[in-house]
Amino acid sequence: MGEVGEEKREVVFRDIRRYYCEFCGLCRSKKSLISSHIQSHHQDVIESLKDDATENAKGSKMNICEECGATFQKPAHLKQHLQSHSLEIEIF
């Protein structure tokens, strides 16, 4: 059957280093190829990631309202917002 080819295949794989695109899983033998691929295909994603990083660096963690998903820079703002939710509930 195809048993003869298996050994050869292993040797080939052992000698080739592979790098993967973390965004789409594309495989290349050189890291520089992946870098240029990412720059040409996933620039938008990188830009949005940068935005996230700067926001995280600015303040602490994101404060997210579990009720409606609104985000706030400061926990105090989230608290105020949550109070408005509980007020709504009281009215009903």
Minimum distance, C-beta of residue 87 to Zn ion, in the bound complex (Å): 12
Q: Which is nearer to Zn ion, 24 or 53 (CB)?
A: 24
Binding site for Zn ion (CB under 5 A): 21, 23-24, 26, 65, 67-68, 70
User: Cβ neighbours of residue 30 under 8 Å, at least 6 residues apart?
Assistant: 19
- Find out whether 72 and 65 touch, Cβ atoms under 8 Å: yes
- Residue of 70, 73, 91, 92 lying closest to 81 (CA atoms): 70
Minimum distance, C-beta of residue 67 to Zn ion, in the bound complex (Å): 4
How far is residue 71's CA from residue 52's CA, in Å, rounded to a whole number? 13
Q: Which is nearer to Zn ion, 9 or 35 (CB)?
A: 35
Q: Which is nearer to Zn ion, 26 or 33 (CB)?
A: 26
